Amino acid sequence: MALWHDKRGRFSPLRAVTLPFLIAPVIALIYFALVGDLGARPRTEAIHEVGLWGLRFLMASLFITPLRRIARYALLIDVRRMIGVASFSYMVLHFILYIADETYDMGVVVSEIVLRIYLTIGFTGWLGMMVLGLTSNDYMVRQLGGLRWRNLHRLVYPITVLGCIHYFMQSKLEVFEPTWISGIFASRAPTSSHSG
């Protein structure tokens, strides 16, 4: 089924509008890489940009539910999973680019993850995103049952915390955006009486 179709197989204008926004960052990154406009350390810049967009899309997916309630626009739910899967895809690419930057030396990759706390935190969050991404389909909803699936996917909140910490720690002196993103997430994070 095409990405711009809803679950019933019909054309969805909302999905069709959302899709270009989800792929635009990676297209822009490819363009800037081809024209040599990624700065003095292009591979590092690409790794950071892809990871940042993964976190941005993760945050956007968290805001779909309250936005739907505020706007009273139920169709927004139709793109929540789409945005979440895009976030997962960007984070997978983030890790692949990191491995490539280490010349595919998995010994170095593993030792760096173990020895550098911000990488340990980021990788833990990445593993969580893998679980959510691989179970983010109708088949897994049926296999797990709706309640267990929803409980599993509430892990998105601690995963987002780990992502924010990872981003903040690796940003070193440039902490404006990670601080801003963390503050927005804190305003969305559920309390004990509310989640999802």
Residue 172: the pLDDT is 66
Beta strands in the chain, from DSSP E residues, in sequence order:
none
- The Cα 38–Cα 187 span in angstroms is 33
Parse the chain into domains and list their residue ranges.
13-188
The answer, yes or no, to whether residue 11 has pLDDT greater than 90, is: no
- Give kind and range of the element (H or E) at residue 136: none
Nearest Cα neighbor of 95 from 51, 158, 32, 59 is 51
DSSP letter at 41 equals -
CA distances from 119 to 41, 97, 108, 110 (A): 19, 14, 12, 10
Residue 68 CB neighbour total at 10 angstroms: 16
Q: Per-residue pLDDT tens for 32-49? A: 999 988 888 899 999 999
Instruction: Report pLDDT digits (tens) over 139-186.
Output: 999 999 989 999 999 999 999 999 989 988 887 656 666 666 666 666
Cα–Cα distance list, 101 to 90, 152, 186 (Å): 16, 32, 32
Instruction: Look at residues 29, 48, 128, 120 and name the one whose alpha carbon lies nearest to residue 88.
Output: 128
> Residue 110 pLDDT more than 70?
yes
Residue 1 has pLDDT above 60, yes or no: no
